[in-house]
Amino acid sequence: MIYLDNNATTKIDEEVLAFALPFLTTNFANASSTHRFGLVANEAVKNARKQVCTLLNCEPNEIVFTSGATEAINLVIKGLQSVPNRKHIITVQTEHTAVLDTCVYMESIGYEVTYLPVQRSGLLDLGLLKEHITENTLLVCVMFANNEIGTIQPIKQIADLAHEKGAYFFTDATQAVGKIPVKVNDLGVDFLAFSGHKLHAPKGIGALYVRAQAGRKAHLTPLQHGGGHEKGLRSGTLNVFGIVGLGQACEVAQKNMEKNTTKIAEMRDFLEKELLKIENTFVNGNIENRLPNTTNICFEGADSEAIILGLEDIAVSNGSACTSMKIEPSHVLKAIGLTDEQAFQSIRLSLSKHNTMEEMKIAAEKITKLVRELREML
């Protein structure tokens, strides 16, 4: 299989698996237990927290381990209900459904939510954002890098605009962390969420950054109560295997980021260039400011589902894996101006460090042949 769906999930690194596996087998103790075996697990969690912090440039007490970004998103958006006199949330139409659905819930309990449009590139218009932030705005929530088209938003500028009106700023950085530099202090974000399985860590683990700096410190109400784990924000027995795996994946990502980014971007650019040789094709979104591993291409006259099924031994996607069961056009592609027909004729190709240039050549050849065959069938 040639796997080109890494924005959906990644293969766990062998180094990460080897490092974390003992915490399922020999060092399986509860990290909250006070005996020697529990203390070993607790030290492993502390080390992993430091590894995550090194990647994000923050302090250990600012990291909350979760089951993934979806939980972290819910914890932030719902957890800010205790903040008085602010009942307005601003987000973007191209956000992940984890954000959009949570915002719909917030509307149901009395909050006003503004869903801002984006430009054809997928970028948010900062002037439009500034117009909508008011003294009543509680939270501005904008994805760091889009999961379908890869567009990277100007996060620091957005955070600054939110803070000018006293609002918090939260970014879902699931697709960015481990692929490009994400330094929370430089960016000025108040909250940041990501999932481990997008950067070669296990599934079922993620982290939430919660700023502790004086003046911007946020007080969240937890979603679940119990033993007071994770500073009371996320009660429940710690997933030591997942946490250790996430920490190690963060360390590996930081160590090899520059090399991997160059390699992956070269492969993506080659594949994209070859596919754009097919007549009536175009790239969706911003080609200047995007993730190095992602391209989303519209093949007019060829149904994306038929492409996915026809490739057989090449894994690609026609949108977010979290919404793949819905038979409707991508809300991201619709938001950047594509017609329903064009959205249904677009596929996302997302690479990782495990891909090779030889795979890109094979994929380009097979996709080109299949697209032309599908068009001939019309």
Catalytic machinery residues:
322
List the one residue out of 238, 282, 307 whose CA is nearest residue 5: 307
Q: What is the rounded CA–CA span in Å between residue 378 and residue 262?
A: 39
Q: 116 and 137 in contact (C-beta within 8 Å)?
A: no
C-beta atoms surrounding 358 within 10 Å: 10
- Strand segments, DSSP code E, in 28-120 are 63-66, 88-92, 112-116
Q: 227 and 221 in contact (C-beta within 8 Å)?
A: no
Q: What is the rounded CA–CA span in Å between residue 118 and residue 152?
A: 12
C-beta atoms surrounding 10 within 10 Å: 22
Q: What is the rounded CA–CA span in Å between residue 286 and residue 239?
A: 38
Q: Which runs of consecutive H residues, i.e. helices, occur in 8-133?
A: 14-20, 22-25, 36-56, 69-79, 97-108, 126-132
List the one residue out of 79, 83, 354 whose CA is nearest residue 231: 79
Q: 373 and 309 in contact (C-beta within 8 Å)?
A: no
In terms of phi and psi (left: phi > 0; alpha: psi -120 to 50; beta: otherwise), the region of 195 is: beta
Token readout for 224 is: 């679940």
Q: What is the rounded CA–CA span in Å between residue 272 and residue 56?
A: 30
Q: What is the rounded CA–CA span in Å between residue 330 and residue 352?
A: 23
